[in-house]
Structure 1
Amino acid sequence: MSLINTEIKPFKASAFKNGKFFDVTDADLKGKWSVVFFYPADFTFVCPTELEDLADNYAEFQGLGVEIYSVSTDTHFAHKAWHDTSDAVKKIQYTMVGDPTGTISRNFGVMIEDVGLADRGTFVIDPEGKIQIVEINAGGVGRDAKELLRKVKAAQYVASHPGEVCPAKWKEGEKTLAPSLDLVGKI
C-alpha cells in the first residue's frame, strides 16, 4: 500500500539536537514542511556521508521552511556520542531522533525486521502531516541532498499551484505543465 497522501501515524520519541535531549512527536512535523530521513545505524559508513550532506544543505532546507528529522533505531544517547566523535556528524544542526523500539520505522514501513534496522527511507511531509514524497534506497546506495531539495521545491510548487505539475528534472523557475485534454498526446 502506498503511503503517498496518507497522514503520518502518531509517535513519541527522544531526540538530540544542539547539545540537548528532548521529545519529538508526530505533532512536531505538522504545520510546516518536514523531511524524515531514515538511515540504518550510527557509527557506520554510508550513513555519515548522507547526514553530512544534509548538514551541508540544511540552511537551504530551512530557507524553504523545511525541518529535517534524521531517524535510526539507535538511541538519542548514541546520536549524541556519534555527534561528539565524528567530524562529519558534528556538522549536524537538525534533529536526530532515536527509534530503539522501531515504532517510527514501522510507521513509515522501513523497518528491516530481521536485523532491527531501518532502510534508507526519505519522506517529505506537507504542513497537513501528509506524505508527499517517498524514496527508499538499498543499504549500499547513498542519497543526494541537492536532489532532495529539488524534489521538495517541486512538491511545494505543486501544493501552492493547483492545476500545475512539475515534469521530469524540473528546477525552480522552469516551465510546469497544466494537465488538460488539449495536452494529451502532445508531450
Structure 2
Amino acid sequence: MFTLVGKKAPDFSATAVKGCQFIENFTLSQFEGKKYVVLFFYPMDFTFVCPTELHAFQAKLAEFEKRGVQLIGCSVDSQFSHFAWLSQDRKEGGIKGVEYPIIADFSKVISQNFGVLAGEEDYDEEGNLIFEGNPVAYRGLFLIDKKGIVRHMLVNDLPLGRNVDEVLRMVDALQHYEEYGEVCPANWNDGQEAIKESHDSVANYLAHH
C-alpha cells in the first residue's frame, strides 16, 4: 500500500496560477520552516464536482491562513487551462475569485510522485508505451508540516468530494499535538479535551466519555 505519511513530501518545480498571475518554478520546499501546507489534487478543470471543492476551500481560506497554512490546488491540466477557468464566472461553472495557487501538473509527474494518478504507464505486446486507466488525479489531499513531512493524507475516488471542515480539524489536531504534546481522540475538535500519552490518562478519558 502506497503511503507518504511520516515521509518527506516529494518536492517539485512547476508553473502555478494564482488569480491572473503565472508563477514559474513554484516549489513545495519554499514553505519549509515557514508554513504548513495543505496540498490537494483534483481530477480536471471545467468539470462538475471539482469547482464545488475549489470554491469550498476558497470559502475557508481565511481559516487556513489564520492557522499558518498555505493552501495549494493541483490538477493535470495546463497553466493555460487553469487561467481560463479562473477567468470564468462562478455562475458559468468557473472558479473566478479563487485566490490560492493552482499547480499545473501537465506532465502528471507530481500526481504520480504523490501516488494519486488514476492509472499507470505500461507496454503492450509490441513494446509500445501505453497508459492504462484514466490519466487524471484522484482527489488526494496531503497535510504537510513545517519540516516538509506528510502528517495526514486522504485519497478519494473521482466522484467523491471532500469535507473542508474535516481538513481544518486535522490541522487543528496536528497543531494541538505539536503545542501541547497531547494526542487527539476520535471526533476531537479544537477546544475539547485531548489525551496525555499514558495508559492512565487514556483510561481516565474513556471512563468519562
Give the TM-score, by structure 1 length: 0.94
Trace 1:121-136 onto structure 2 (pairs within 5 A).
Answer: 121-136=140-155
What's 1:108 paired with?
A: 114
Q: How does 1:86-101 map to 2 (within 5 A)?
A: 86-87=89-90, 89-101=95-107
Amino acid at match of 1:92: V
Deviation digits for residues 89-113 of structure 1, max 9, x if unmatched?
1121000100011111111110112
Structure 2 vs 1, CA of residues 128 and 51 (structure 1 numbering), >3 Å: closer, same or farther?
Answer: same
- Residue in 1 aligned with 2:84? 81
The 8 Å contact of residues 120 and 136 in structure 1, kept in 2 or not, is answered as yes
CA distance in 1, matches of 2:67, 2:145: 12
> Is it true that 1:37 corresponds to 2:56 in the alignment?
no
Q: How much does 1:174 deviate? A: 0.7
Tell me if the contact between 2:19 and 2:86 (Cα under 8 Å) persists in the aligned partners: no
Specify the code of the residue in structure 1 equivalent to 2:22.
F
1:160 Cα offset (Å): 2.0
Shift of 1:116: 1.4
Partner residue of 2:122? none
Aligned to 1:137: 156
Aligned to 1:22: 23
CA offset at residue 184 of structure 1? 5.5
Q: Which amino acid in 1 is paired with 2:113?
A: N
SS in 1 for 2:60: helix
Aligned residues: 186
Cα displacement (A) at 1:36: 0.4
Alpha-carbon distance between aligned partners in 2 of 1:137 and 1:86, rounded to the nearest angstrom: 27
- Percent identity between the aligned chains? 38
Moved more, 22-31 or 141-150: 22-31
Give secondary structure in 1 for the equivalent of 2:96.
helix
8 Å contact kept, 1:30–1:128: yes
Aligned to 1:11: 12
Q: Residue 149 of structure 2 aligns to which amino acid in structure 1?
A: K
Query: Which runs of 5 or more structure 1 residues have no equivalent in the other structure?
Result: none
1:56-102 per-residue CA deviation (whole Å, 9 max, x = no partner) reads 11011001110111000001111110011141511210001000111
Q: CA RMSD in A?
A: 1.4
Is 1:146 paired with 2:165? yes
Distance apart, 1:154 and its partner CA: 0.8
Contact 1:123 1:133 (8 Å CA) reproduced = yes
Q: TM-score with structure 2 length normalisation?
A: 0.85
- Cα distance between partner residues in 1 of 2:203 and 2:191: 25
User: What stretches of structure 2 of length at least 5 have no aligned partner?
Assistant: 120-132
* Structure 1 equivalent of residue 123 of structure 2: none
Q: Is the 8 A contact 2:138 2:158 kept in 1?
A: yes
Moved over 6 A (4+): none
Taking the aligned partners of 1:158 and 1:184, their CA distance within structure 2 comes to 15
